[in-house]
């Protein structure tokens, strides 16, 4: 135990490493705070109540909700998280196997090629965010009681798309900053933090379901 504490003390005494740790902790805290900020006009409890029961749709949405740290079924400004960025990255990687232009960028053009691929990935992320944001707002619109009755639907859609897109771009930027100035891969870290944040609630929910099924 003393050796472990001494190791932590030695790590903390290194200024560069200490700054990286502090930056990572602050960035993660900001990301988690953002996941609790609800989109304007949404009654957040309605989403959880509507899709919290068992069944295939709820299971699928529950999986998405886990990867976003609970933001998806809250109607959060970070409801999409970094899923559009991950989707865009996968598409760009697949294009690298099939399209000669992307193959050249990946293998022959070095740093300039990687920068170009990053630009394409970011632009594709914005497009995917618009598509997924529209699908998400459609899901909300079809959920009884999820939208406040005093909200104009046109304004809700416009503001919702803008805010969701901004939230995803912010999450993507935050992940890149963690990679540059913090510890580890920022995108992977944000995914891991989201999953960890959901573990206690998921565990308790599973235990309660088992008790209910066994009539205990």
CATH code, domain carrying 122: 1.10.3370.10
Residue 191 has pLDDT above 80, yes or no: yes
pLDDT for residue 56: 41
- Residues 123-153 have pLDDT tens digits of 999 999 999 999 999 998 888 888 888 888 8
CA neighbours within 13 Å on the CB side: how many for 71? 30
3-state helix vs strand vs coil in the chain, percent to 5 = 80, 0, 20
pLDDT for residue 22: 92
Give the span between the Cα atoms of 28 and 41, in whole angstroms.
Answer: 26
Whether 6 is covered by a domain: the verdict is: no
Give the span between the Cα atoms of 177 and 181, in whole angstroms.
Answer: 6
What is this structure's pTM?
0.83
- Residue 32 lies in domain: 16-206
Whether 147 is covered by a domain: the verdict is: yes
Q: Residue 54: pLDDT band by 50, 70, 90 thresholds?
A: very low
Whether 213 is covered by a domain: the verdict is: no
Whether 103 is covered by a domain: the verdict is: yes
- Residues 10-52 have pLDDT tens digits of 777 777 888 999 999 999 999 999 999 999 988 877 777 776 5
Whether 139 is covered by a domain: the verdict is: yes
Give how many domains the chain has, as a whole number: 1
Whether 10 is covered by a domain: the verdict is: no
Q: What is the largest CA-CA distance in the chain?
A: 64
Whether 212 is covered by a domain: the verdict is: no
Whether 162 is covered by a domain: the verdict is: yes
């Amino acid at each position: 135990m003393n050796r472990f504490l001494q190791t932590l003390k030695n790590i903390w005494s290194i200024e560069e490493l200490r700054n990286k740790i502090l930056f990572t902790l602050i960035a993660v805290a900001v990301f988690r705070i953002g996941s609790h900020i609800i989109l304007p006009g949404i009654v957040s409890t309605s989403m959880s109540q509507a899709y919290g029961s068992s069944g295939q749709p709820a299971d699928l949405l529950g999986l998405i909700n886990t990867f976003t740290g609970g933001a998806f079924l809250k109607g959060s400004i970070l409801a999409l998280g970094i899923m559009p960025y991950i989707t865009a990255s996968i598409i760009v990687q697949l294009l690298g196997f099939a399209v000669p232009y992307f193959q050249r960028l990946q293998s022959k053009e070095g740093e300039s090629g990687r920068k170009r691929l990053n630009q394409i990935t970011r632009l594709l992320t914005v497009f995917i965010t618009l598509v997924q944001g529209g699908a998400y707002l459609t899901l909300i619109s079809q959920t009884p009681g999820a939208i406040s009755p005093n909200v104009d639907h046109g304004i809700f859609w416009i503001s919702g798309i803008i805010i969701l897109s901004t939230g995803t771009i912010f999450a993507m930027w935050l992940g890149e900053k963690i990679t540059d100035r913090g510890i580890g891969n920022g995108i992977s870290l944000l995914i891991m933090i989201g999953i960890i944040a959901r573990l206690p609630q998921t565990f308790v929910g599973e235990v309660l379901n088992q008790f209910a099924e066994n009539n205990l």
